[in-house]
A and B are shown apart, each in its own frame.
Chain A
Amino acid sequence: SQQGEEDPQALSIQEGENATMNCSYKTSINNLQWYRQNSGRGLVHLILIRSNEREKHSGRLRVTLDTSKKSSSLLITASRAADTASYFCAYTDNYGQNFVFGPGTRLSVLP
């Protein structure tokens, strides 16, 4: 299986704290994307980072990519209760043959 892996599987923090989620993968990638899924809802695209980029920001989100370690991290700063969701990393390999999702990290932000 080429499935990516996120860790931790579940994360519970207090509102205002930062949340860090990690994603590891096994192949050479073209790009890596992070998605959010609220309970009972569809997936929402958060941010895309290309294989030649090392860091990218979008609002309170910061994504890093280390291709030598085949890993990426998603940092949510100053978390809010509304950030409670599952977060998935997804990527395409260099052949574009697969769009692979990890199992996700369930984030709970407590008020």
Chain B
Amino acid sequence: GAGVSQSPSNKVTEKGKDVELRCDPISGHTALYWYRQSLGQGLEFLIYFQGNSAPDKSGLPSDRFSAERTGGSVSTLTIQRTQQEDSAVYLCASSLPSWTTGETQYFGPGTRLLVL
């Protein structure tokens, strides 16, 4: 069956430009997560959506970062006025509800963002 998909797979942009990253979760998964992985670093949690509840934005590093999830399915992560330190792989994951009980998160292949 189809897994989590992300687009684009690679994105090169100039400093100061805005970028949008897209995530299509597995059908039926109500929970969706965004993570960032900088080169040589572990994963950094960014934001979490669960159904119609208000998202947990506690991991967003600055107000330049925002995310939406339309219709409880597709999500878009937007980075405004990109900076070179935003260069990383951005990973999306989805799972069934109740993440606190450890529902398996299924990860997409990621979007590699390079800010020049």
Contact = CB atoms under 8 A, between A and B. Distances in A.
Nearest to A94: B100
A27 interface: no
A52 to B, nearest CB: 12
B84 interface: no
B110 interface: yes
A11 to B, nearest CB: 16
A51 B53 CA distance: 27
Measured as residues with beta carbon below 8 angstroms from the partner, the interface class of chain B is 20 to 34
A48 B107 contact: no
A97 B56 CA distance: 9
Given A30-B100, A31-B101, A99-B33, A41 B43 contact: no
B42 interface: yes
B43 A88 contact: yes
Nearest to A89: B42
Query: How large, as a class, is the contact surface on chain A?
Result: 20 to 34
B52 interface: no
Interface in A1-39: 3-4, 30-31, 33, 35
B109 interface: yes
A42 B33 contact: no
B104 interface: yes
A3 B4 CA distance: 25
Interface string A72-111: 0000000000000000101010001111111110000000
A70 interface: no
Contact of A92 (B35, B102, B106): B102
Interface of A: 3-4, 30-31, 33, 35, 41-45, 48, 50, 88, 90, 92, 96-104
